[in-house]
Amino acid sequence: MAQPDEIVEDAPEAEETEQDEAREKADREAARKLRSEATNLRKRLKELEAERDAATKTEVEKAREAGKAEAQAEVLKDRALDKLETRAARTFADPEDARALLASKVDDFVADGQVDVTAIDDALADLLKRKPHLAVAGKRFEGSADGGARNSATPQKLTAADIRKLAAEGKHAEIVKARQEGRIDYETARQQS
């Protein structure tokens, strides 16, 4: 069993440990507050430096930057109008009509320094609803892209061999009809005779 003298001696050590822990906690809290304050001061310093730099810029530099920003905005507007005309080529008979009619709304087609294709498509669709006469009549392109020979609308001319074959088959009416339509090739028939 512990002696009463030992219990009394342990009490100051426990108080010292509690006091040390309380001091460490207070020190950590103070350090956290100091770091937070230092961060805020650095941020404020940067803001003040930026204000100072802006105030010390010459009028020429400010004008140059403003001109550059304006030029970039104009280029972006031109790109938006070009994109509008390109997309209008699919559904408008004359895409330049769409460009002319929507040019006043070009600012609506630019968002965050980019061309907003969705806004362009919506404006084109709205324009076609309001002015359907601007739309392409029928299909824009007809035929295939093969560029090959087409079936002619005129029936084929009959040669002497064709005439003999039709006569052998007893199709005299077709021969008469071909003669009336001018589909007998007399040059080839004479050469083959």
Residue 5's pLDDT is 52
DSSP β-ladder status, 114-115 and 110-111: antiparallel
Residue 147's pLDDT is 62
**What does the alpha-carbon distance between residue 75 and residue 106 come to, in Å, rounded to a whole number?**
12
Instruction: Report the b/e string of 23-40 with b at 16+ CB within 10 A.
Output: eeeeeeeeeeeeeeeeee
The one-character DSSP state at 60 is: H
- Contact assessment for residue 83 and residue 110, using Cβ atoms and an 8 Å cutoff: no
Enter the pTM of the model.
0.42
CA atoms within 13 A on the CB side of 61: 6
- The alpha carbons of the chain give a radius of gyration, in whole angstroms, of 46
What are the structural domain ranges in the chain? 74-134, 160-192
- Lookup: tokens for 177: 């009809």
For residues 60 and 24, the model is more confident at 24
Over residues 122-164, the pLDDT tens digits come to 999 999 999 999 888 765 555 566 666 665 566 678 788 888 8
Over residues 69-112, the pLDDT tens digits come to 899 989 999 999 999 999 999 889 999 999 999 999 988 888 88
